[in-house]
Structure 1
């Protein structure tokens, strides 16, 4: 099947799902950088008050990647706002004079794919767009460390053995729903895993899936578009084989277990100073995810910072195009001590 799907009646759409910090934005950016002239539009659903992921993709410097082709939906989790945000956005894209040849949808780390897949059955969309495939991006080292339960049967056994343990952890449910909806699982950050651990992850994830799904290891989300696009899954017609914890609830779900907020980042003398400070804060407050931009003294470039837990990455990505103002999105389970976290980030040694 042609990656561009030229001449087809319906525009192919790829849904990129995955937990917080798995590497979805990095994978999408790599797709844009290697689009080969294809007109790809991206819908990115940022969770939180600050659109960091959309900003990383927008103005990314990729030839042919126009600002108007990056559409950010920041009014809440995409699977909760399908009618209000997603459907009008899709209709606006496909009704352009030069509609995209492929649509990539990057969901937030908290989104359940099933309600989004159901939206492609709406008459106004179904005749014009098809779900080419669902990609579940997995943070290999995080899963290998046992941070999320990816075996529903094992969870039920543990519940029977120890009823005092809360096995309805929404983090685990979201993770499992994303895997079950996938047409391909991308085992990202595979370079951080030894061969035995990678083989174990393949076995464990594959064994937990309801159907045969290809598992592909990746480093920094760098996969050939020919691997990711053109799957021809027509996932909107295959909902029955993609079980969800929330099927009985008609897709209704809550995200009350999560919260996010924005913290101002004071100017730092060196990136290493900020990273060490953030690692201490993340460890002290059990923060799930941080991402944002920082001002470094004497540097014209902004410093992009993102991390999962205490594993942080940073790089100068581009010159500041507005006021030099550092900001950081902090995401975690509800109950974070916002004041203590903000003070610790602003004042070294206060974690």
Structure 2
């Protein structure tokens, strides 16, 4: 079977809260009739991102086109979760014209790319490209952009230094696997800062990798799709911190939990509580939805570091309980009771 006959697959990677789901929703909205199927992998027990995509109301995007895998990171569950899900999509009639995989923010891309060499997938798919979504403001602040060479120099100079920095490794692996880097939330920084982040990313990415800036996930489908990278045959040019190892990693440095929030009177006080809890407990990510009294639409919360925002996405259905669900993600050892109390007020 030739490459042209294979279904192209785009792997959408990026750190926690980088804007992958926003980018994907924009892609589905402007698909132009393409039959696009989506696999969403999330960290945590409540599939907020999958629900947002299934409920998007985009013409031509059916709930059955969205497959959610929430039982573990794809790079750790290739055989048990990913390959069966891909096979089921490929067996559909008609088959998708393109498949997009939105990985969790903790996923290492390379083990996933290796899975496309499996006999059941290699003859039927090709990795059109790996798109890394980068939070421009976060990188500008240095939160997830540690310099591995600087860490190595510090290791040599001081044997007592703490070297374990899994966030930096994940960030590097995602960036070094990319065929295209999207600088999301570019409207949150000024022109000089954006230029600096663009230069920094270009310097760390592989030669020839494109870097584009985006606001609200607005990137044209023809920019994201049709890269024809054939990444499954190009693994040697995509270095990883885990090359030569077992290609396994643990997520014991992170934990997540869900906070149920009763119907609230207004959004602003909740957003302030989310901000305060994030700062007080150094949270990485908050996402979820809540019910606002007197509002027929569901409010969707997004928090990355100290930045929080809320939008209304769809009406509450008659069979739904008007109760919020907020997913909290942070480093292991969170004081869950204290955080939940702060969020509930």
Report TM bin, short chain: over 0.9
Out of 7, 21, 28, the position equivalent to 2:24 is 28
1:181-330 equivalences in 2 (<5 Å): 181-321=177-317, 322-330=320-328
TM-score, length of structure 2 as denominator length: 0.96
- Determine which of 42, 45, 49 is the counterpart of 1:49: 45
Q: Quick one: distance in 2 between partners of 1:269 and 1:325?
A: 12
Distance 2:159 2:14 in 1: 29
Kept in 1: contact 2:291–2:322 (CA 8 A): yes
Query: Structure 1: how far apart are the matches of 2:244 and 2:330?
Result: 27
CA distance in 1, matches of 2:160, 2:194: 32
Deviation >6 Å, runs of 4+: none
Partners of 1:163 and 1:200 in 2: CA distance: 32
CA apart distance, 1:150:
4.3
Shift of 1:189: 0.9
1:254, distance to aligned residue in structure 2 (A):
1.1
State the match for 1:332 in structure 2.
330
Equivalence for 2:127: 131
Contact residue 151 and residue 208 of structure 1 kept, 8 A: no
| Structure-2 separation of matches of 1:332 and 1:130 | 34
Number of residue pairs matched by the alignment: 341
Pair 203,158 (structure 1): closer, same or farther in 2 beyond 3 Å: farther
Contact 1:39 1:100 in 2 (8 A): yes
Report the Cα offset of residue 166 of structure 1.
2.1
> RMSD over aligned Cα, in angstroms?
1.2
Deviations 1:4-51 (A, max 9, x none): xxx931000000000000000000000000000000000000110100
Distance in 2 (CA, whole Å) between partners of 1:156 and 1:262 is 37
| Structure-1-length-normalised TM-score | 0.95
The answer for the alignment partner of 1:4 in structure 2 is: none
Asked if 2 retains the 8 angstrom alpha-carbon contact of 1:149 and 1:155, the reply is no
Distance (Å, rounded) in 2 between the aligned partners of 1:162 and 1:339: 38
Q: What SS does the corresponding residue of 2:4 show, helix, strand or coil?
A: coil
Question: What is the distance in 2 between the residues matched to 1:286 and 1:343?
Answer: 16
- 1:46 and 1:74 in contact (8 A); partners too: yes
Match of 2:79 among 69, 80, 83: 83
Counterparts in 2 of 1:82 and 1:142: CA distance versus 1, 3 Å: same
2 CA distance for matches of 1:324 and 1:29? Answer: 24
Q: Which runs of 5+ in 2 are unaligned?
A: none
